[in-house]
Every structure is written in C-alpha cells, then in structure tokens.
C-alpha cells in the first residue's frame, strides 16, 4: 500500500457515527501469525522462497509468472514473480490478490513487511486452502503479486496478459494485520458498484464494522481499475484509527492526528509484534464471505 499517493480529498456521503464496531472472532485461526512471520526475510529471493514453502505446506499448486522490472537499475530485482493458484473452473474468473513484496527502505534494506503485507498474504493462503474444498461457479484465481511497492508492477503485468479478459471482479487485500474495522475503497471509481454492494451486504449480514472510503491509498486494485475490471481494496484498522485515516483522505480537511499506521508501514517498525491473530481471522472471514457473495452474484 502506498499512503503517499493521495488524491484530492472529497467528502464522503457516509456517516462515520453509523459505522458499527463488533467483537472479533473468539477463535483465531491457529498459526496464522506464524504464517505471516515466515515472510520476514532479508531479501526478495528469500521472501519468495518462504511464500512458495507456505503454499507447498497447504498443498496448493501454483504457477510462477515472471516479468521484467524496468526499474531494476534503480531498485529491486531484475525480474518480478507473481504466484498464481487456480481453484475450480468457470467461464469467468474471480481474482483475489495480495502483494507479498516488502517496501525498500532508505538504507537499501527491506522492511520486515509484516502488516504491509505479509498479514494479507497469510489471510489469502488460508482462504485458498478453504476455498479449494468448495464448489464455485467461477474459476478462482488467488494471486500473490510481486513488486507492488515498485509502482504496482506485478499487477500491471497481470492485467496486460490475455488472462485479464476473463476477470469478472478483483478483490485486493492490503494491510490486514490488526484492528476491528474493515476499510475499503476507492468507491469513487467507475464500474465497481456491484462489488461494493456485495461487500456491504457481507458487512450488514455479519454486523461488521465497515467504513467506505471515496479515496483510498493506492494498491494493486488500481491496475485492474485502469484495465476496466471491477475491483475493491480491503484493509483493516482499529475503529478510531480508521476514522482518522478517513478524515485524512476524504475530509474534512486534514489537521487531526496522523494515523499510527503511517508510523508502521514502509518503516523498520513493520514487525510481527503488530500482528493480531483475531484481527487476521476477522479479515479472513470477511474476505471469504465476499468471494462467496461475488461468486453468487457476478
């Protein structure tokens, strides 16, 4: 996620006071924080190896999609590698994605990248394991994107391939390490009404705290938006912090406290001590229900 790529704020039509806050699941998924911690590696190569080992442990078959990094002389490896897990069959695809790369820091090292975005990778791996045992009307494509932190290169490559023509909708997971409120956006983009309606049904049925953003930090959903594919990006924060971020990005004009998330992501502070198993399980349950709802409705 790129917090510094902000669009001029506009006023949302939602009432922040109307956003419910509910308890998170009492039974967190065993080992989900440990799954995320496996990606805490010093190099991009080691992070890739850790992810493939995690998918192997869940019995998931994957394809490696390579692409060149045009910024390789400036930063990052010469090639990026997306990982694709296909589940089921169907004429159209539902894509659920999360980037697994970590942000480069000023000293040339990598962020630990636990909240941004190993938390979502661990959630997505569990979703893949669960949905592999279900019958869906669409082919489900679980995509672990590389080089999101370098101008969305992995997702931009994916939407340039013929496979993108099959995509009915894309769900992006970014920043799902702690909190009790689902944040989602950017609702101002055209063509996403059905996807947003589906999430809002999930939030209403579950009684979840969910906050819609007209403007939202940039992530891999934007590549799909540029390609004309319906999409949504989902994150998780505590309710007070979600409201702070909403005010910063969507008005009234900035002036309040800076949300703590900005002191974590893209810094050496993005460590596993910020991860909460109950929160990650909450993100897993919401995203899982959204995929099922989209499978029924798209």
- CA separation for the pair 32, 241 (Å, rounded): 23
- CA separation for the pair 289, 203 (Å, rounded): 9
Tell me what pLDDT residue 12 has. Answer: 34
Which domains does the chain show, CATH number per domain? 16-297 (3.40.630.10)
pLDDT band at 72 (very low <50, low <70, confident <90, very high): confident
**C-alpha 62: how far from chain center:** 19
pLDDT in tens, 162-215: 999 999 999 999 999 999 999 999 998 889 999 999 999 999 999 999 999 999
Among 7-16, 18-27, 51-60, 168-177, which stretch is predicted with the lowest mean pLDDT?
A: 7-16
pLDDT in tens, 243-260: 999 999 988 766 678 899
- CA separation for the pair 128, 97 (Å, rounded): 11
φ and ψ at residue 216, rounded to 5 degrees: -150, 150
The proportion of the chain whose per-residue pLDDT surpasses 90, expressed as a percent, equals 83
pLDDT band at 74 (very low <50, low <70, confident <90, very high): confident
Stretch 206-231: mean pLDDT: 97
From the CB of residue 58, how many other CB atoms can be counted at a distance below 10 Å?
14
Tell me what pLDDT residue 243 has. Answer: 94
- CA separation for the pair 128, 139 (Å, rounded): 12
Is the model's pLDDT at 94 over the cut of 80?
Answer: yes
CB 254 within 8 A of CB 247: yes
- Measured CA to CA in angstroms, residue 104 lies from 107, 136, 179, 220, 268 at distances of 8, 38, 25, 17, 10
- CA separation for the pair 274, 122 (Å, rounded): 14
Bridge partner list, 182 = 210, 236
CB 90 within 8 A of CB 1: no
Nearest C-alpha neighbor of 98 from the set 120, 66, 119, 113: 120
Q: State whether residue 28 is helix, strand or coil.
A: coil
Q: Are strands 231-237 and 79-87 parallel, antiparallel or unpaired?
A: unpaired
Tell me what pLDDT residue 23 has. Answer: 44
- Strand intervals (E) in 160-244: 167-173, 181-185, 209-212, 231-237
Stretch 89-114: mean pLDDT: 96
pLDDT band at 2 (very low <50, low <70, confident <90, very high): low
Q: Which positions ≥6 away from 148 have C-beta within 8 Å?
A: 99, 101, 117, 154, 155, 174, 219, 220
Q: Which positions ≥6 away from 216 have C-beta within 8 Å?
A: 183, 184, 185, 186, 233, 249
- Give the residue with greater pLDDT, 101 vs 10: 101
H-helix or E-strand containing 81?
A: strand 79-87
């Amino acid at each position: 996620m790129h917090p510094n790529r902000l669009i001029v704020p506009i006023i949302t039509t939602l009432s922040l006071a109307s956003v419910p806050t509910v308890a998170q699941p009492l039974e967190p998924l065993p080992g989900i924080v440990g799954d995320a911690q496996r990606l805490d590696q010093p190099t991009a190569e080691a992070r890739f190896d850790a992810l493939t080992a995690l998918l192997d442990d869940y019995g998931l078959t994957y394809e490696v999609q390579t692409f060149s990094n045009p910024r390789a002389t400036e930063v990052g490896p010469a090639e990026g590698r997306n990982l694709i897990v296909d589940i089921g069959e169907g004429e159209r695809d539902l894509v659920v994605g999360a980037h697994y790369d970590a942000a480069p820091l000023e000293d040339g090292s990598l962020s630990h990248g636990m909240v941004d975005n190993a938390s979502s990778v661990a959630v997505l791996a569990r979703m893949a394991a669960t949905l592999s045992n279900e019958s869906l009307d669409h082919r489900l494509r679980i995509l672990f994107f590389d080089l999101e932190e370098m101008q969305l290169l992995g997702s931009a490559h994916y939407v340039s391939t013929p496979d993108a023509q099959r995509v009915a909708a894309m769900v992006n997971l970014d920043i799902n390490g702690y909190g009790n409120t689902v944040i989602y956006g950017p609702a101002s983009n055209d063509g996403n009404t059905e996807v947003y309606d589906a999430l809002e049904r999930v939030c209403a049925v579950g009684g979840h705290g969910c906050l819609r953003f007209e403007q939202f930090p940039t992530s891999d959903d934007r590549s799909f938006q540029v390609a004309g594919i319906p999409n949504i990006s989902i994150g998780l924060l505590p309710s007070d912090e979600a409201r702070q971020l909403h005010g910063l990005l969507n008005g009234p004009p900035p002036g309040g406290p800076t949300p703590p998330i900005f002191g974590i992501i893209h810094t050496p502070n993005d460590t596993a001590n910020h991860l909460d198993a109950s929160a990650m399980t909450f993100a897993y349950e919401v995203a899982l229900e959204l995929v099922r709802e989209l499978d029924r409705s798209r």
